[in-house]
Structure 1
Amino acid sequence: MVDNIHSVLKKQSRLPLSLKVKYVLRTRLERGEWTVGTRIPTLLELVAEYGVSRATVRAALDELEQEGLIERTRGKGTFVIGDASKEHWLMLPTDWRSLVEHIEHLKVRFTVLGSGYGSLAAEISTQTPAPTYWWTTRVNWADDIPYSFNTVYVIKRLLDLKKTHFESEPILPVINRYFKDELHSASQVLTIRAADGVVAKELHIEIGTAVAQALRVARNAQQEIVYAARVLYPAKYLSIETQFHPREESGRNPAA
């Protein structure tokens, strides 16, 4: 069993082994396997369980202690002091209305890293872009936590009508408030990426940490893109809930 775990840890990615062990331990904390106040296995027990060196486990525990999840006391052991199961506080909406309400409810403040004019990034869409967009890169904050790294594009003719609002407020609510008639369709694609140096620095996470990337595009009736965004969230904060309605989808009682 130890050999299997060690093999998985070594093959999964190019991350340092200590970070992989840290993420495995964090997952166990998030699942509630070790609750606040309980003692986790000793250093030697974890070394035996994962088949790695003492230095590797010690480095992983150092990281968790710095995050305020555990506390080590000489002669007593390592105890859980933070509830990792409550870290997934950021519910990512799956429809436009909920997304706008979510941003307004968070009372977002932001730091602007840059802005200007140009074309859409190729990764967002190549379908019916306008000639010129205003773009801005921001870090959104909630309760003193930097929770998203965003590059947002707004078609220039809309920007010119409400420039002050776009520059001083969260952009999606501005689009929804003043230009709802421009919105014909919208989509969001979610993927998991690794944080690069810039994103890691701005979101106060480590390089290579898992981040969820949301690519959002809104089009008008002519299928022209009027709004687009690339938003990166630390995966450790994120949760997604989707409601299924089997009766409506099938037209019959699924238990029948």
Structure 2
Amino acid sequence: MSVCFYPIALVVATPTAANPERNSRSESKDSSRGGDSPESSKTVHYSTGFSHSQKMAFTPPDKKGLKFVNSYIRHNDDCLTDVRERSEEPFSVIDSVLLRYHLPLELKYLAVIESELKTTAVSRVGAKGTWQLMRGTAHELGLKVNRQTDERKDLVKSTRAAAAYLRDLHHEFKDWLLVLAAYNGGPVPVIRAMHKAHSRNFWILQKYLPAESRMHVKKFIATAMYFEKQDEDKPAPTAPETETDDEKFSRLMRESASSLEVSRHQLGEK
């Protein structure tokens, strides 16, 4: 995978790929039914449903988290700017698929940290495409990967596969931050972290996650905040003013008078 994002803080490796560890999915599903009840964060809120009208919120829970976000954006500003400038077309495709799968549109930012929105991206472990899917994962999600064809490089088809996988992970974890961690390293490490922390709150169990998955989630939050801030800073389009009947009449009279004056001048009238 071609990555221009600089590692900072506790980053020890670049993101690899969606690796669901499907051979351990039965263990994952059984474990997710454990006794620990879901916990809500006081400062981090995100949607647990699939309505695209709901927005995921990415505010870190403390000053340390916000410091990471600011540092990450500062160190990767050039790369993020480059991606944003060429993001309109791929985001349009990704948004349409996410809407169809009733997933939050903010999930498109996952493709930014996975591949910088490049369909030709290849990771050090063999994950390919915009969504950095491993060969086995791609096969299980219905994509063709052989000597002649690699649908992981097809933006539409790979986005559909990624959306299906993200939806599947959310059915399992009911928490988008855990979904992001599982997308990176598979569901089993997340389940193990949940058991060790006796919690389903990412900010509590994160220390039990592999460092790469932990930082993957934080990179996503920083990237999402960057793009959302850029959208907020765009000037709102000015709505055309609606003329009243009196205003329209006055304008027409002025235009008529001006036109008449020009005509008189052209005809040599005084």
TM-score, normalising length: structure 2: 0.25
- Indicate the structure (1 or 2) with the bigger Cα radius of gyration: 2
The structure with the largest strand share of the pair is 1
**Greater percentage in helix:** 2
Highest RCO, 1 vs 2 (Cα 8 Å, sep ≥ 6): 2
